[in-house]
Structure 1
Amino acid sequence: MTEFFKRKKIELGIDLNDVQKKAVVQTEGPLLLLACPGSGKTTTMIMRIGYLIEEKKVNPNRIKAITFSRASAQDMAERFKRFFPDSTPVGFSTIHSLAFKIARTYLEKTGTTYELIEGQARQKINKSFLLKGIYKEVHKDDCTDDELSSLSTFISSIKNKMLLPEKWESLKGPVDKAGLIAKKYEQYKSQQVGHLLLDFDDMLTIAEEALRLDEDLCDQFRMKYDYLLTDESQDTSFVQHRIVEHLASRHGNVCVVADDDQSIYTWRGAEPDYLLNFKSVYPDAQVLMMERNYRSSKEIVETTAKFIKRNKNRYPKDMYTENASVAPITIKQLDDPKRQLEYVTYELLGETNLNEVAILFRNNSSSTRYVSELHRRGIPFYMKDADDKFFTHWIVEDILNFMRLSFNTERKDVFSKIIMKMNLFVSNNMLREFNSANTTGNVFDAFAQTIELRTNQVQKLTEYKTIYESIPDQRPAQVIRIIRNELGYEAGLRSRAEKFGFRIDHLLGILDTLEEIASQVRTMVEFATRLKELEEAVQNAKYNPAENAVTLSTLHSAKGLEFRRVFMIDLQNGIIPSEDDESDVRLLEEARRLFYVGMTRAKQNLELLSYRNDEGKTKEDSKFLNEIRGLLLKPTKVANDSEKIPTSKLGVPINMSGIGDVAGLPVGTNIRHRVFGIGKIISIQDDKITIQFDKMEKVLDLETILKYRILERIV
């Protein structure tokens, strides 16, 4: 055993710590390996496999390593080849790939034919097509891309959780009657006797069913492997865990590598609680914790380790590092999103090695304005998850159609696409009647003359006709403002959001981004051309990125990556955590884990950015950002009941009812100051707090404010 580690240190320069060595040699029986960020888990896993082969003389074909993604499987296979070039390759694969082999064997055995409706270049029928048709059948209306995406995720989640179909209709879904649509979708896929339509999740559910019900088939696959290893198991769903359980039931030699603090995919069916209850499934399991972080600076590791401990539903880990201090974590509150964008852009202009820098955000919609500015300035960027859906979003198409009509107000086809978006309360029957009528001339006049309308509707149409006469003389950004406000689009959008459960802040954010892009061009034709350029730039940034490019990524997609410098942007309440997160303790803990994942991507420089205003509305910093502020302040001692009540240097007793934690001072809070009276918190920047009192604004020392509890909240 010792010789193995000595040999690898000489051959590869790898010197494992004591816990990593234990993880390598603990090969028999179940093992849960909890690996903190930057703790060298991939190296440890590869060394464990090499140890099995070189020291325990295990046939490489008898080892199965299961990863979360195809990229991870490829990365591990390449690393194994570098570490152990003389060894026979080991089977590295995704759980879906393994499940498909099992499912295919089962279906062939039962004489069932199948057709894949996901992941194929050429498909007669696909999942999206089916769901759109069923949605229209149920709702008598077309579904949007957002609804389709959320519906697909919902169906995937309930299947991964192995929820019984008879319970689906009672579940709360992202769209009305989501459970009914899910049932109809499954019924349609199996309506042909002896033939199935299969999506990715069916591979998992059928594989689990096969292993559970067909003992001979289960033995066939159980006997293939003597050792199983699963990576990123905090993101593994219940059905995936069950497949592994079946395969490990003969020998119990399963190593589950995970970090419950990085579980961020429960919305997709991941089961982090499975890890917490690991010993109920594997009573003899050993649990090891890899707590040393090799990636990040002392400041980043110590702060993030304290931050994640605010979650309760987790293993008690103490992440630490022996790395040196590099630079303090930077927290900046900018005036508005535009100033935030300008700050990041100018910082990037000063960077030489852009490939060591990342901009991380929660929602992909945040990336578009950065794409536009980086592209305009010639700063190369790489899109970890290209948001080309932005450019095909129905709101983008609506805005372009509003503009198209201004070039020719006799175009009945374009008018028909936007008339119901003008907050005129026009019905589908009215629109069908208009389209079937033989009309010519200005569409606003023709509609009013053809359809029986209320007086206020006729008045609005007349106003809209006049507005359209002025549009060709306006710049694109002004045209979008006219569409939003004077043509009733934003009001109609709010009504649609309320009716269908859309997130209005997300939809308005798309409009804001379009307006920002439009402000950079002079004509509507240039605006349409600019959108096409940016769509192509996003595609190039994903598939043909420049060698030295800054990375743009969602927090979810950044997991597993690392950068010298990280900007986390848009750190506002309502975004992270979202309103939904705030309503559920479990969701709030997952949002905190997501924030933690973002921070732990940084090796040396971490910048946490927010803004105080957006479109004239005051914005509150993320509660997580305020928690970090509190952790970065020097700890202060609070008296307990048996100690003397502390006083300030002036001898004034500390108000124990006052606020002693920065988390209790979100921007916008109304407070009372001992001396200046009632005020409102305007901003918190580094060690200063700005408060507006009646007719004066005061900038005060934050540490003093908290230490002596000078402020009280006004309810």
Structure 2
Amino acid sequence: MTFVWTEKELSAEQSDAVREERSIFLVACPGSGKTRTLTYKIAYELSRLDSNRKFVVALTYTHRAADEIHERIEGLGVDTSQLWIGTIHSFCLEWILKPYAIYEPAIAHGFRIIDSHEQEKLLEELCRTQRGITYWDCDYYFTDQGYVLGCRDQSKHARLQAIFALYFQQLADNRQIDFELILYYASRLIRSQPQIAKVLANIFQWVLIDEYQDTKRIQYEIVAAIVRAGAERTQLFVVGDPNQAIFGSLGGFAMSVTELQRLCGVPIKDRALTENYRSTDRLIRYFSNFTVQATVIHGAGPDRAFSSTISYNTVVGRDEVEAELVRIIRLSAAQGVRPEQICVLAPWWILLAGVTRRLAGALPEFHFDGPGMVPFSRDQENFWYRLSRIALTQASPDQHVRRMRWANEVIRDLGNEGLNARGMTAKQLLRESNSVLLAETDGLQYLRLYFDALMVRLGIDWQSHRLLNEHHRAFFDSSAAKVERLRREGSSYIGEIDFFRKVFQHRSGITVNTIHGVKGAEFDVVIAFGLLQGMVPHFSEEDEADGGVTSAKKLLYVVGSRARKHLYLISEQQRRRGGGRGAYPSTEILAEYVFDYDAV
């Protein structure tokens, strides 16, 4: 039966986009219900599949977004058995590399994906072979022609190329690949073996891309090859906001509809979501000043007329920032704002790490959430990370659907590794998991004991399987290193099992994150500091033709559009640049913006 909805659920703009039967390119302004529209589109197309051999594929920027959308669709009562949703890396791994690796000599004899901790350790070791190069210079991404260095200092490129020659050789010698190589080999396979795209086009009736403005060219080309092979049997739904394209240093960019249409070889309709249901009119007027691509935004939320506070502090000193953050947080709480609706932002995580610890000490009545506070490795492709999600969540009605899905993923992983999991069900796995009762209070030791006990209860000798052993070692090595680093920074409680369990709970405290990390989220109160020239924009972008103005505008647009009601901006004084170059000045594009700010 075709999925239907009422006028109260979707606006006319949203409904038109969902019902469109051909490929569509949807530009969505902030707060326009992009995720809701994407969710309903997936639900609608799932309900219209005319064969149990067809799939709907949705590509999201993060695993968290994939989980959220998946759960929303299940909440709508739509069968998701013919939905595949996840990141482009997971898609390439599952649908291209694993089934077709035999056709790519570099990975034909097996491979293992290294996690971020292993990659960092290896690159740090190799950086010692070249003077003046650090791990932070080693950002890179792939195109179909090879890798591109992210470091903007051209004088370092020859040394970096020497490092990457050793890096790729060492990976090859150990039959390892990193996340960028997943895309590279998937691209090589889909170009050298045209039958792959044809097979996938016959399976996928719809391919949906969320946050298209963060997509890399190699990713566009992989998807386009499938759509092209489908010759209009495979439809494309692309949604995002070009004004929020802030991952350019990692290769992400907002492809135009004209170029995407040419690449895919199919007609694509251009549509827009223009109604903002999140922010007040005053906030919309404020952040609209920072658009880099003309976008129509209309306030449409119930609180659009609310009297927002928008402040900009340029007099507070670096050593006074934390006291100012505490003051604003207490002010917000006194106004009735719940902790989970408060967000503290900065452009770099290094600015937040110590601040988070000290805020927690100054505000003991509040809990703080943030990716930098996660006490173990979050490698989504690691078997033991996947299993940790079940270990650290309690059996409860509100977690049941999620835990069942996770259990099915674990069973599938066991089967992929050659273990006999054919007769195992998700209910059985969860029943055995719930029977593992441990008194251990150390988080990592708890997980070690839990993994061992569950495998025994399931009758699985995991230690006899090479890949599971490698994943186990990688998970605990990287997790131990992360816990130790956080403890050195003063978070003595970070390794406790109670803290581990908070990782997979719904947001319950004040969010602390970078501008890049919070994109897609929304809060009643947003407090941003570190809005300084050299940070916003990044100092490496100041050499661009416009002096980094475009980059700074996009970052400020993202900051401002996260807020529902109140926005507090801080360009602190006396934060020193390295090399004796004096203090960072305020972000120029922000300092020049004339606005009737509020005094707080």
Whether TM-score is above 0.5 comes out as yes
Kindly indicate whether the alpha-carbon contact (under 8 Å) linking 2:26 and 2:237 is maintained by their aligned counterparts in 1. yes
Kindly indicate whether the alpha-carbon contact (under 8 Å) linking 1:359 and 1:552 is maintained by their aligned counterparts in 2. yes
Q: Among 102, 109, 115, which residue is 1:113 paired with? A: 109
Q: Structure 1: any 5+ residue segments left out of the alignment? A: 390-527, 634-684, 688-715
Between Structure 1 and Structure 2, how many residues are aligned?
468
Q: For the residues of structure 1 that align with 2:342 and 2:151, how far apart are their CA atoms?
A: 46
- 3-state secondary structure, aligned to 1:277: helix
Aligned partner of 1:278 in structure 2 is 260
Aligned partner of 2:325 in structure 1 is 344
- Asked if residue 534 in structure 1 is aligned to residue 491 in structure 2, the reply is yes
- 1:328/1:165 CA distance change after superposition, 3 Å: closer
Q: For the residues of structure 2 that align with 1:127 and 1:603, how far apart are their CA atoms?
A: 38
Aligned partner of 2:31 in structure 1 is 38
Q: Among 127, 132, 136, which residue is 2:119 paired with? A: 127
Q: Deviations over 1:659-706 (max 9, x none)?
A: xxxxxxxxxxxxxxxxxxxxxxxxxx869xxxxxxxxxxxxxxxxxxx
Aligned partner of 2:509 in structure 1 is 549
- 3-state secondary structure, aligned to 1:575: coil
Q: For the residues of structure 1 that align with 2:21 and 2:366, how far apart are their CA atoms?
A: 46
Aligned partner of 2:135 in structure 1 is 148
Q: For the residues of structure 1 that align with 2:486 and 2:368, how far apart are their CA atoms?
A: 22
Q: Among 213, 216, 223, which residue is 1:244 paired with? A: 223
Higher relative contact order (CA 8 A, sep 6+): 2
- Asked if residue 385 in structure 1 is aligned to residue 385 in structure 2, the reply is no
Q: Among 306, 311, 317, which residue is 1:330 paired with? A: 311
Kindly indicate whether the alpha-carbon contact (under 8 Å) linking 1:382 and 1:541 is maintained by their aligned counterparts in 2. no
- 1:202/1:265 CA distance change after superposition, 3 Å: same
Distance apart, 1:583 and its partner CA: 1.9
Q: For the residues of structure 2 that align with 1:560 and 1:33, how far apart are their CA atoms?
A: 16
Distance apart, 1:109 and its partner CA: 4.7
TM-score (norm: length of structure 2): 0.70
- 3-state secondary structure, aligned to 1:9: coil
Aligned partner of 1:666 in structure 2 is none
- Asked if residue 184 in structure 1 is aligned to residue 166 in structure 2, the reply is yes
Kindly indicate whether the alpha-carbon contact (under 8 Å) linking 1:68 and 1:231 is maintained by their aligned counterparts in 2. yes
Distance apart, 1:622 and its partner CA: 1.6
- 1:385/1:60 CA distance change after superposition, 3 Å: farther
Aligned partner of 1:98 in structure 2 is 91
Kindly indicate whether the alpha-carbon contact (under 8 Å) linking 2:144 and 2:187 is maintained by their aligned counterparts in 1. no
Aligned partner of 1:265 in structure 2 is 247
Aligned partner of 1:499 in structure 2 is none
Q: Deviations over 1:338-393 (max 9, x none)?
A: 3332122022234151111011100112213422332222143434220799xxxx
Q: For the residues of structure 2 that align with 1:236 and 1:175, how far apart are their CA atoms?
A: 25
The correspondence of residues 479-494 of structure 1 with structure 2, limited to 5 A, is: none
- Asked if residue 579 in structure 1 is aligned to residue 539 in structure 2, the reply is yes
Aligned partner of 2:16 in structure 1 is 22
Distance apart, 1:235 and its partner CA: 0.8
Q: For the residues of structure 1 that align with 2:510 and 2:88, how far apart are their CA atoms?
A: 31
Q: For the residues of structure 2 that align with 1:169 and 1:608, how far apart are their CA atoms?
A: 29
Q: Among 193, 202, 219, which residue is 2:198 paired with? A: 219
Percent of pairs with identical residues: 19
- 3-state secondary structure, aligned to 2:305: coil
Q: For the residues of structure 2 that align with 1:82 and 1:357, how far apart are their CA atoms?
A: 27
Q: For the residues of structure 1 that align with 2:486 and 2:45, how far apart are their CA atoms?
A: 58
The correspondence of residues 599-678 of structure 1 with structure 2, limited to 5 A, is: 599-614=560-575, 620-628=585-593, 630=594, 632-633=595-596
Distance apart, 1:573 and its partner CA: 2.0
Kindly indicate whether the alpha-carbon contact (under 8 Å) linking 2:287 and 2:556 is maintained by their aligned counterparts in 1. no
Aligned partner of 1:233 in structure 2 is 212
Q: Deviations over 1:443-501 (max 9, x none)?
A: xxxxxxxxxxxxxxxxxxxxxxxxxxxxxxxxxxxxxxxxxxxxxxxxxxxxxxxxxxx
Aligned partner of 2:183 in structure 1 is 204
Larger Rg: 1
The correspondence of residues 45-84 of structure 1 with structure 2, limited to 5 A, is: 45-54=38-47, 57=50, 61-84=54-77
Aligned partner of 2:144 in structure 1 is 162
- 1:114/1:168 CA distance change after superposition, 3 Å: farther
- 3-state secondary structure, aligned to 1:386: helix
Kindly indicate whether the alpha-carbon contact (under 8 Å) linking 1:169 and 1:180 is maintained by their aligned counterparts in 2. no
- 3-state secondary structure, aligned to 2:39: helix
The correspondence of residues 700-715 of structure 1 with structure 2, limited to 5 A, is: none
Q: For the residues of structure 2 that align with 1:542 and 1:260, how far apart are their CA atoms?
A: 36
Kindly indicate whether the alpha-carbon contact (under 8 Å) linking 1:39 and 1:295 is maintained by their aligned counterparts in 2. yes
Distance apart, 1:172 and its partner CA: 2.9
Amino acid in structure 1 at the alignment position of 2:323: E
- 1:529/1:234 CA distance change after superposition, 3 Å: closer
Aligned partner of 2:296 in structure 1 is 318
- 3-state secondary structure, aligned to 1:573: coil
- 1:375/1:588 CA distance change after superposition, 3 Å: same
Kindly indicate whether the alpha-carbon contact (under 8 Å) linking 1:374 and 1:380 is maintained by their aligned counterparts in 2. no
Q: For the residues of structure 2 that align with 1:535 and 1:271, how far apart are their CA atoms?
A: 40
- 1:529/1:611 CA distance change after superposition, 3 Å: closer
Kindly indicate whether the alpha-carbon contact (under 8 Å) linking 1:135 and 1:181 is maintained by their aligned counterparts in 2. yes
Kindly indicate whether the alpha-carbon contact (under 8 Å) linking 1:359 and 1:553 is maintained by their aligned counterparts in 2. yes
Q: For the residues of structure 2 that align with 1:180 and 1:275, how far apart are their CA atoms?
A: 38
Kindly indicate whether the alpha-carbon contact (under 8 Å) linking 2:486 and 2:494 is maintained by their aligned counterparts in 1. no
Amino acid in structure 1 at the alignment position of 2:330: L
Amino acid in structure 2 at the alignment position of 1:590: S
Kindly indicate whether the alpha-carbon contact (under 8 Å) linking 1:31 and 1:255 is maintained by their aligned counterparts in 2. yes
Q: Structure 2: any 5+ residue segments left out of the alignment? A: 376-484
Q: How much is the aligned-residue C-alpha RMSD, in angstroms?
A: 3.6
Amino acid in structure 1 at the alignment position of 2:310: I
Distance apart, 1:205 and its partner CA: 1.1
TM-score (norm: length of structure 1): 0.59
Q: Deviations over 1:225-282 (max 9, x none)?
A: 1211111111111111111011111134111112111111111121324557334324
- 1:369/1:100 CA distance change after superposition, 3 Å: closer
Q: For the residues of structure 2 that align with 1:213 and 1:306, how far apart are their CA atoms?
A: 46
Amino acid in structure 1 at the alignment position of 2:371: D
